Structure 1
């Protein structure tokens, strides 16, 4: 069985050459992530153009996800050699640009003193070291260290999201957004989302004229407001790093399952991210726990799994992608394709839907059932925006999904959707055109003459509704 779960790989110093990016595409990368917390807008645009060129050469639809920095707070650069922190140490923390070290920790957030007070817990880096604030004298904080660790570089400082004055998107985010939307970026990752209002503030046109907005769920407020966020976002990322700090690591597996199922029921692609194959930053092979984590995310129903430092700074980005592809392909083969749709139907039954959504639910469900019962070779979805394709993908059919769209941006966005092979093709809804589309799909080698396929589309223009299904033999 071909791999259905999509792979996102982050570009960075270890993966900046044409040779490496080309090999990552060949190894199975479906979407490249640009981490805008590092680098400039012009550098990001240069990377976008590089990916577009190499994907075109490979004849692959490859999406580009630009991940905005958001209200990320970081410590200033540590002194040479770093600073070893020990359990019980007392440190001072203050806003400023001096180098962090034995004399104090400096933070690039001017409102730190206003937002943080005694009793608040600040977390450094990946969570191995935390600081409990004991006092705030109006100029600096005093805090007690919990945990042990060597602090180097510019680690993040996690402030509880309900204490932050700064909201998402930031002024820096909007600057990046303007440049990248003009360049035609496919997807935008919005960091530290708290509510649907944060997503509305982005202010871009809806797909396909604008990018797909990927809301990163990494705050307690986002979990509490998930239903509202699902109504306005284009996709969701389970950002397990900060989410685990905010809500507690013991809650993380349960939140992951809940978020994934809610997203799929709503017809939104969902990404599982953070430390999926972290050991491969330095090691040639992942740990057994990491392999199991990836497989379990796939069994949960995730649309995509994401690689961060593993491909951005790791010693072998190509092998990381190839390893992830093998793990995902094997897990996809064990996915419970029969039980999954029943759970989705139950979730949708308990969700308030519009008349258009009810029609889409009925037609997409009917297409899945017919294709499954008749052992169709594929489900072919025709869509300007990708809505119909994503509506079918949430059922996780055992046969392939072929997503056809006249929009190149939609095709690139569909590279994120589970089980979808995206292709550029004219979107038309008369019967003769449907036969022509079946021939087009046949000519790409996705199906063969005589195969039964289900073709699904929406008859209205500019309406998010799927209302037509046709079964036919490929000429």
Structure 2
């Protein structure tokens, strides 16, 4: 469990604030001076010291009043070369439960076609029911670069879909690239006839605060180009669902019907 900083009677920090990380491999694969982001980029830090079981991180940017970092929020290392391979023991245990109790499974951080192969091999052992679905979450630069090969591997099973995890992608690929990246993912999935899910912060202000922003209204209209949209939880979620439905109905006549299926991908690995 995380904890706040401890201070002495004079206000000096005797023990810094800390949080936990569920991926033990991280500590050996990152280096000092590399950036780290928390909660979809709301908090930015730099790794100042690396140890086998902990990282000392200096927070260099957040809101002036600070940001509260809640449990189970994402951590991104966009400047680090991370190498995750295969499913963990916990993944396999969770997957067995999902097969028994759900209709579909979301797989996070799909970075290469081997990740899809590993998942399918484990599913074959579990004998899932007919029609059991798979959603591959694309949320890293590596996953985007290798998307063509990932999709070709994924097309060997059915049903399968892709989630565009735009929060993580924006951090991994850069804020200036996220518009192009999400469009190219849509084009590739359309060419492969694989449905895609538009995710992260869709009508977020409305869902949580009851009032939408102008920017997220435009973003919701752009989501019309996808097959599915994911809304986050909030006290005003019903209003968000109704508004999204209205936007989609109004925008249906303007939906692109003749867009190119395969525009040139500037930075993806097509080899």
TM-score by length of 1: 0.47
1:21 aligns with: none
In structure 2, what is the Cα distance between the partners aligned to 1:143 and 1:222? 26
Residue 19 of structure 2: SS of its match in structure 1? strand
2:109 aligns with: 192
Structure 1 residue 270 displacement after superposition: 0.7
Residue 333 of structure 1: SS of its match in structure 2? helix
Structure 1 residue 138 displacement after superposition: 4.9
CA 279–78 in structure 1, closer or farther in 2 if over 3 Å, else same = farther
2:18 aligns with: 105
Q: How does 1:66-465 map to 2 (within 5 A)?
A: 76-79=1-4, 103-108=16-21, 109-138=23-52, 140-148=54-62, 149-154=66-71, 155-160=73-78, 163-167=81-85, 169-183=87-101, 185-203=102-120, 204-205=123-124, 209-233=130-154, 234-298=160-224, 301-308=225-232, 311=233, 314-337=234-257, 339-340=258-259, 343-344=260-261, 347=262
Query: Is the CA contact (8 Å cut-off) linking 1:123 and 1:158 kept in structure 2?
Result: yes
In structure 2, what is the Cα distance between the partners aligned to 1:161 and 1:120? 6
**Unpaired segments ≥5 residues, structure 1:** 1-75, 84-90, 92-100, 349-475
Query: Is the CA contact (8 Å cut-off) linking 2:205 and 2:211 kept in structure 1?
Result: yes
Structure with max Cα Rg: 1
CA 150–261 in structure 1, closer or farther in 2 if over 3 Å, else same = same
CA 162–187 in structure 1, closer or farther in 2 if over 3 Å, else same = farther
Structure 1 residue 297 displacement after superposition: 2.8
1:34-66 Cα distance to aligned partner (Å, 9 max, x none):
xxxxxxxxxxxxxxxxxxxxxxxxxxxxxxxxx
Query: Is the CA contact (8 Å cut-off) linking 1:169 and 1:191 kept in structure 2?
Result: no
Residue 59 of structure 2: SS of its match in structure 1? strand
Structure 1 residue 192 displacement after superposition: 0.5
1:438 aligns with: none
Structure 1 residue 180 displacement after superposition: 2.0
Query: Is the CA contact (8 Å cut-off) linking 1:218 and 1:242 kept in structure 2?
Result: yes
> Aligned-pair RMSD on alpha carbons?
2.8
Residue 323 of structure 1: SS of its match in structure 2? helix
1:415-443 Cα distance to aligned partner (Å, 9 max, x none):
xxxxxxxxxxxxxxxxxxxxxxxxxxxxx
In structure 2, what is the Cα distance between the partners aligned to 1:162 and 1:201? 24
1:88 aligns with: none
Query: Is the CA contact (8 Å cut-off) linking 1:168 and 1:190 kept in structure 2?
Result: no
TM-score by length of 2: 0.79
**Unpaired segments ≥5 residues, structure 2:** 7-12, 155-159, 264-271
In structure 2, what is the Cα distance between the partners aligned to 1:254 and 1:226? 14
In structure 2, what is the Cα distance between the partners aligned to 1:326 and 1:197? 40
CA 251–288 in structure 1, closer or farther in 2 if over 3 Å, else same = same
Query: Is the CA contact (8 Å cut-off) linking 2:206 and 2:239 kept in structure 1?
Result: no
In structure 2, what is the Cα distance between the partners aligned to 1:172 and 1:317? 32
